Structure 1
Amino acid sequence: MPQIFPVEADDFDCLYEIERQAHLVPWSLATLKNNQGERYLNLKLLDAGRIVGFAVCQTVLDEATLFNLAVEPASQGKGFGKILLNKLMEELRKKGIQTLWLEVRESNSIARRLYEKQGFNEVDIRKNYYPKPNGGRENAVVMACYL
């Protein structure tokens, strides 16, 4: 049974390794560390006592933005992303957050399907938002969920 806890300072090396494995163009370790603090709700998901996923979410007033959700490739397809997202949404509701926003790569159909199943709606397209690994840019789909 997976467990979810807040991210702690000594988790970053593990989170960074998951980030590198899970994303086409990963965040740097410095970016990961900079997205922490009192306005963030950042969670890690453990399976058999090992961190296999995480979420980085910033809150401002009654809104939040999910900046990053990652599950290591070896643990994908087991529902961990859904469990992590649901726990994040539950915790945000407890904090009085009314809307959760995110951007997702237009090509990331698996993530888009997950978000849609959890109640997110497509709001807009950000043209040429994400860098591609071999150059060029990709659109981002802006999505929102009313909690």
Structure 2
Amino acid sequence: MRHIIEEARVILPGVQALFGFQTIAVFSERFAELANYAKACHVLGLATVVTAIAMVMTPAVYYRTCHGQANRRMARLSAWLIRGALLPLAGGLALDMFTVVHAVTEWLPLSLLSGAGTFALLIALWFVLPTHARRHVLARGRTP
């Protein structure tokens, strides 16, 4: 359980920094000029990052609530929360990429492609690649 909480501590500063940059963006004069759908994407991206932050922070709260008494169920849930936080984080980053590319180019097709490409890249690196590696290790008869 302590290892899981340590992993959350590594992830959290980056996610919090992203949240800070997302929040600051709305105070920019350029933000007011964005199309309403781009502003909505930014707000949705902010919401998904808040979801990721909540999921990353939950294991530490859960552990402290139980007075440091970890069990297998708590460890499984905590690992699931931290890994699961990567999905809304990928969504938030993709929506931010869409918003930034749209602000720079004002070309919707490129903005959509950039957002979708970012999401696909992160899903591939954070979910597909590790799953493939795990299957490869298991197929060779070793435990991961």
TM-score range, shorter chain: 0.3 to 0.5
TM-score (norm 1): 0.33
Q: Which has the larger radius of gyration?
A: 2
TM-score (norm 2): 0.33
Structure richer in strand, relative to its length = 1
